[in-house]
Chain A
Amino acid sequence: MATATPTLRPLACWKSILRHSRQQKAITRSLTTLRAPERTAAPASRNSLPPVWQKLKVYPPPPSAAAASREPIKDFTNDQLRILDPTRARTNLFSKGNPEGAKVGDILLVRLKDGEPFAGVCINIRRRGVDTGILLRNQLTRVGVEMWYKIYSPNVEGIEVVQRKEKRARRARLTYMRKPKHDRGSVENIVYQYQRMKAGLRSKEDSNLGGKKKGKGRK
Chain B
Amino acid sequence: MAPKLPTSWAQLPPAFLLPDAFLPLIAKRGVKNGWSTAVPRSKPNRFNQQTAGLPTLTQSPAAALARKAYTLPLRTGALGIKKGMTAIYDPETGIRTACTVLQLDRLQVVAHKTRDKHGYYAVQVGAGWKHASNVPMALLGHFTGAGVSPKRHVAEFRVKDEKGLLGVGQSIEPDWFIEGQFVDARANCRGMGFEGGMKRWGFSGQGASHGNSKNHRTMGSSGGSQGSGSRVLPGKKMPGRMGGQQVTTQNVKVLKVDKEKGLVILSGCVAGPKGCIVKIQDAVKKPWPVIPEAVGTVKEALKATA
Residue numbers of A with Cβ under 8 A of B are 18, 49, 52, 56-66, 68-69, 72-73, 75-77, 80, 83-84, 113, 129-131, 150, 152-155
Contact = CB atoms under 8 A, between A and B. Distances in A.
Contact of A62 (B96, B106, B143, B174): B106
Contact of B9 (A18, A59, A62, A152): A18
B290 interface: no
A152 B90 CA distance: 11
Contacts of A65: 103-105, 173-174, 259-262
A154 B94 contact: yes
Interface in B31-89: 81, 83-84, 86-89
B172 to A, nearest CB: 11
B171 interface: yes
Interface of B: 9, 81, 83-84, 86-92, 94, 96, 101, 103-106, 108, 129, 132, 137, 140-141, 143-145, 147-150, 171, 173-174, 258-263, 265
Contacts, number: 99
Contacts of A84: 89, 91
Contacts of B108: 62
A14 B103 CA distance: 86
B263 A58 contact: no
Contacts of B89: 80, 84, 130, 152-154
A72 B103 contact: yes
Given A73-B101, A76-B101, A76-B263, A60 B149 contact: yes
A55 B11 CA distance: 71
B104 to A, nearest CB: 7
Contacts of B104: 65-66
A61 B129 contact: yes
A40 to B, nearest CB: 21
A124 B9 CA distance: 108
A84 to B, nearest CB: 6
A49 B141 contact: yes
Contacts of A72: 83, 101, 103, 261-263
Contact of B94 (A69, A75, A155): A155
Contact of A150 (B90, B96, B144, B149): B96
B91 A154 contact: yes
B6 to A, nearest CB: 16
Contacts of B87: 130-131
Contact of B261 (A59, A68, A154): A68
B103 A59 contact: no
Contacts of A69: 103, 260-263
Given A49-B141, A56-B144, 13 more contacts: A59-B148, A60-B149, A65-B173, A65-B174, A69-B103, A69-B263, A76-B258, A76-B263, A80-B86, A83-B91, A152-B89, A154-B91, A154-B94
A59 B168 CA distance: 14
B70 to A, nearest CB: 35
Given A73-B86, A131-B87, A154-B89, A62 B103 contact: no
